Chains A and B, each alone.
Chain A
């Protein structure tokens, strides 16, 4: 249970921070929503000017202030965590959110927008959803042509007369549903358009669409179902599913500022407001590592686990190489392509060559992987596309063989540490039990027992660094002196890690307590060696000794 307690600790810390900078944080929330919509680098000041411009004249200024104070009750852990890096890179200011948090913020925005639209909240949600929660685009269109917009999105029935039919559920005798063609006495749902279908067909229809994130319309025409309609048909709070999936597509579209935690089943989203510092990180061969509320750490740039001393480019090249070599991933390579923009793997399961990435909505051509828009004129280029793989095959097969051998060696090392890391993870589960038995058998306090958990964490970090150092070593010039130093460093860390790992295997509680100083020494040593290796690796990258060869 040590991990659980730990988490408590953290969130307490965050609470303090939150109370400390109360108003500042809330300000940031509003701006962060604004910024995220733009998905680009907008200074906070200019955002506020814009906001004021929108809100003045609507008597909202005062309420707005109030709203900010009220927002503290929101169940969001919105305290910002700071990561301090030595070496002159700017601190990353990010926050960890869930889909629900983001949706709640969107609702806040909808509340603010309501006086501008003078429409029911439900309608504004539909409008926002249609514009991917992009407020500015919506307002632009809204001032342009209000009525067209309402019809297009299905908030007004095309004939314009809203009172012809009532929306809602009604019980009908001997009703023949146009979808299932069964005649029965059932509940029937219809919107203002008057298209009636039995509620069972509607349920099945909606069920299949709740995860798409798109607006659900009447089956017969384009009149939109609002959240209240969906809840009426599907039951209490079903519309939340649709809203969350809509937010998910929002997150995917703003992948520059929002990243899903890559750990399995983790639902955290890291939101980085200001991405301008990321380029600084990559310039200095640092990686922007972040930690979600579930304490998973990953790289914000590439979405992989912590991969220091390797930087994102090396990591990417290494992973791609590993994939290429591995047999079972051949299918992925031969049947899928990466979206040229967001690198999601896409399988073409039919349809034409005009591809729209389901993740970032980028439109491209399947054949040449170029952007779709310019295909207007240069269609023939696509048919001229030739697979260039063939040219590697015959030339210098010896060279290739040598390279393969070198790769296999490094990959084996890399893999070994990955396997060990997994074993360490199992070890971690027993550590919790050990701490407990320390408490029970020898009466050691929980705090005092924490050195075990800390050692384990250090061990993990050391292993991960060691693992990725082999990727760096693979791409480094072996004849260079610094590379040799790097390899020496690897060996030292490797030894340190194994020693600590051995220490953690001890089961006898009394022996553990007796050797407590050893734990501190060894863990401290691993930490020093890890840092040294990371610095050394970064040095290789900065000096260009480790670089990607094409």
Chain B
């Protein structure tokens, strides 16, 4: 496990990505807790906003998934629990494979911001707006929350 995380740490130093602004361990002494800043994808209601993710690597990594959530919470997204920041994403659960890495997860989360899945909702209100194709209301509600939390 150690050399694996060390390698991911090294790779993260040279990381160049449009949407991942920062991907760092909270302390370099302990590589099991990470913090990440992502940018909302263009053409999504999250554009022009940045979000923080908290990633905890379990002892059994990479055989089991890292625990990953939005922190601080209040993230308005159909697949994110508004109160806890918990994320419902298949690769973070049943479809996890040891070949995936932290960077891959973060990319998948960025992708999720753009491609919400209303079939497994954690935020029912937003999922319903999406289900009934009320995109205007969907965008407005998200912007409302985002601007509110910015204050």
* Cβ-based interface call for B131 (8 A): yes
A156-192 interface (Cβ within 8 A of B): 178-182
Q: Give Cα A181–Cα B88 distance, bound, in whole angstroms.
A: 28
Whether A380 pairs with B128 at a CB distance below 8 angstroms is yes
- The minimal Cβ–Cβ distance linking B139 to chain A, given in whole angstroms, is 19
What are the residues of chain B within 8 A of A379 when measuring CB–CB?
121, 124, 127-128, 131
What are the residues of chain A within 8 A of B128 when measuring CB–CB?
379-380
Whether B122 pairs with A353 at a CB distance below 8 angstroms is yes
Whether A181 pairs with B86 at a CB distance below 8 angstroms is no
Which of B24-32, B39-47, B91-99 makes up part of the contact surface?
B91-99
Query: Across the A-B interface, how many residue pairs have beta carbons closer than 8 Å?
Result: 53
What are the residues of chain B within 8 A of A350 when measuring CB–CB?
86
What are the residues of chain A within 8 A of B7 when measuring CB–CB?
181
* Cβ-based interface call for B1 (8 A): yes
B117-137 interface (Cβ within 8 A of A): 119-122, 124-125, 127-128, 131
Contact of B3 among A181, A205, A219 (CB under 8 A): A181
Given contact pairs A352-B79, A379-B127, A379-B128, A179 touches B62 in the complex (Cβ within 8 A): yes
Q: Give Cα A351–Cα B125 distance, bound, in whole angstroms.
A: 17
Q: Give Cα A354–Cα B88 distance, bound, in whole angstroms.
A: 10
* Cβ-based interface call for A383 (8 A): yes
A23-74 interface (Cβ within 8 A of B): none
Closest to A209 in B: B63
* Cβ-based interface call for A421 (8 A): no
Whether A220 pairs with B63 at a CB distance below 8 angstroms is no
* Cβ-based interface call for A208 (8 A): yes
* Cβ-based interface call for A201 (8 A): yes
* Cβ-based interface call for B21 (8 A): no
Q: Give Cα A92–Cα B1 distance, bound, in whole angstroms.
A: 55
Q: Give Cα A219–Cα B88 distance, bound, in whole angstroms.
A: 22
B68-114 interface (Cβ within 8 A of A): 79, 86, 88, 93, 97-99
Whether B97 pairs with A180 at a CB distance below 8 angstroms is no
Q: Give Cα A205–Cα B99 distance, bound, in whole angstroms.
A: 11
Q: Give Cα A283–Cα B79 distance, bound, in whole angstroms.
A: 47
* Cβ-based interface call for B4 (8 A): yes
* Residue-wise interface mask of A (341-356) relative to B, using a CB-CB cutoff of 8 A (1 in contact, 0 not): 0000000001111100
Q: Give Cα A352–Cα B64 distance, bound, in whole angstroms.
A: 19
Q: Give Cα A354–Cα B89 distance, bound, in whole angstroms.
A: 12
- The minimal Cβ–Cβ distance linking B94 to chain A, given in whole angstroms, is 9
What are the residues of chain A within 8 A of B88 when measuring CB–CB?
351-352
Q: Give Cα A111–Cα B3 distance, bound, in whole angstroms.
A: 46
- The minimal Cβ–Cβ distance linking A375 to chain B, given in whole angstroms, is 9
* Cβ-based interface call for B6 (8 A): yes
Whether A180 pairs with B4 at a CB distance below 8 angstroms is yes
* Cβ-based interface call for A382 (8 A): yes
B1-45 interface (Cβ within 8 A of A): 1, 3-4, 6-7
A198-257 interface (Cβ within 8 A of B): 201, 204-205, 208, 219-220
Q: Give Cα A58–Cα B136 distance, bound, in whole angstroms.
A: 61
Q: Give Cα A379–Cα B118 distance, bound, in whole angstroms.
A: 11
What are the residues of chain B within 8 A of A178 when measuring CB–CB?
99
Contact of B124 among A179, A219, A382 (CB under 8 A): A382
Given contact pairs A219-B97, A380-B128, A382-B124, A181 touches B4 in the complex (Cβ within 8 A): yes
- The minimal Cβ–Cβ distance linking A363 to chain B, given in whole angstroms, is 11
What are the residues of chain B within 8 A of A351 when measuring CB–CB?
86, 88, 93, 122
What are the residues of chain B within 8 A of A220 when measuring CB–CB?
97, 99
Whether B98 pairs with A352 at a CB distance below 8 angstroms is no
Whether A179 pairs with B127 at a CB distance below 8 angstroms is no
What are the residues of chain A within 8 A of B4 when measuring CB–CB?
179-182
Whether A352 pairs with B120 at a CB distance below 8 angstroms is yes
Given contact pairs A205-B98, A219-B98, A353 touches B3 in the complex (Cβ within 8 A): no
Of the candidates A180, A195, A208, A220, the one having the most CB atoms from chain B within 10 angstroms of its own CB is A180
Q: Give Cα A195–Cα B99 distance, bound, in whole angstroms.
A: 10
Whether A219 pairs with B119 at a CB distance below 8 angstroms is no
What are the residues of chain A within 8 A of B98 when measuring CB–CB?
179, 201, 205, 219
- The minimal Cβ–Cβ distance linking A174 to chain B, given in whole angstroms, is 14
Of the candidates B6, B63, B86, B122, the one having the most CB atoms from chain A within 10 angstroms of its own CB is B63
Q: Give Cα A383–Cα B129 distance, bound, in whole angstroms.
A: 14
Whether A179 pairs with B99 at a CB distance below 8 angstroms is yes
Whether B1 pairs with A180 at a CB distance below 8 angstroms is yes
Of the candidates B88, B121, B124, B131, the one having the most CB atoms from chain A within 10 angstroms of its own CB is B124
Whether B119 pairs with A354 at a CB distance below 8 angstroms is yes
Q: Give Cα A4–Cα B7 distance, bound, in whole angstroms.
A: 60
Q: Give Cα A352–Cα B78 distance, bound, in whole angstroms.
A: 10
Q: Give Cα A477–Cα B148 distance, bound, in whole angstroms.
A: 61
Q: Give Cα A353–Cα B97 distance, bound, in whole angstroms.
A: 24
- The minimal Cβ–Cβ distance linking A1 to chain B, given in whole angstroms, is 46
What are the residues of chain B within 8 A of A180 when measuring CB–CB?
1, 3-4
- The minimal Cβ–Cβ distance linking B115 to chain A, given in whole angstroms, is 16
Q: Give Cα A317–Cα B122 distance, bound, in whole angstroms.
A: 34
- The minimal Cβ–Cβ distance linking A40 to chain B, given in whole angstroms, is 29
- The minimal Cβ–Cβ distance linking B1 to chain A, given in whole angstroms, is 7
Closest to B60 in A: A208
What are the residues of chain B within 8 A of A352 when measuring CB–CB?
79, 88, 120-122
* Residue-wise interface mask of A (372-383) relative to B, using a CB-CB cutoff of 8 A (1 in contact, 0 not): 000010011011
What are the residues of chain A within 8 A of B127 when measuring CB–CB?
379
Could you list some 24 contacts between A and B, CB below 8 A?
A179-B4, A179-B62, A179-B98, A180-B1, A180-B4, A181-B6, A182-B3, A182-B4, A195-B99, A204-B63, A205-B63, A205-B98, A208-B63, A219-B97, A219-B99, A351-B88, A351-B122, A352-B88, A353-B122, A376-B131, A379-B121, A379-B124, A380-B128, A383-B124
Q: Apart from A220-B97, A351-B122, what 18 extra A-B contacts exist at CB < 8 Å?
A: A180-B4, A181-B3, A181-B7, A182-B4, A195-B99, A201-B98, A219-B97, A350-B86, A351-B86, A351-B93, A352-B88, A352-B122, A354-B119, A354-B121, A379-B121, A379-B128, A379-B131, A380-B124
Rank and list the top 6 A-B pairs by shortest CB-CB distance, nearest first. A352-B88, A181-B7, A181-B4, A379-B128, A352-B122, A181-B3
